[in-house]
Amino acid sequence: MIKKGAVVLGVSVLVSGLLFWLNKKTKAAPPQPPPPGLANLYGKVTDASTNQPIAGVQVTLGGIGQAITNPAGNYAFLNITPGNYFATFSKAGYQEVTM
């Protein structure tokens, strides 16, 4: 979905099996490390022009499922099988991005 005059999502993806710290305002505890043989994928979606986080972005990880970014722009996929995946980021008013 590409809208005329749409702003491109600036996507910053951090892939890690380590702890993920959410925005300091939420003060949420980090999730536990994944079980052996599995991985966690975490990321943050920001506006390419302002570098501000974007809430409500639908993140689809091919073959795994979907997540929606929180108010800090963060999303997570927990306990997934390590491998190569395509991620698609979409929200009304922005250009859809697939990586």
pLDDT value at position 58? 98
Q: CATH number of the domain at 7-20+38-98, please? A: 2.60.40
Q: Are 60 and 51 in contact (CB under 8 A)?
A: no
| Token code pair at residue 77 | 């996929």
Q: Does residue 89 surpass a pLDDT of 70?
A: yes
Q: Does residue 25 surpass a pLDDT of 70?
A: no
* Strand order from edge to edge, sheet including 94-95: 74-80, 39-47, 7-15, 94-95
Q: Are 73 and 44 in contact (CB under 8 A)?
A: yes
Higher per-residue confidence, 96 vs 19: 96
Three-state secondary structure call for residue 97: strand
Q: What is the pLDDT of residues 35-88, one digit of tens each?
A: 888 999 999 999 999 999 999 999 999 989 999 999 999 999 999 999 999 999
The domain limits of the chain are 7-20+38-98
pTM above 0.85, yes or no: no
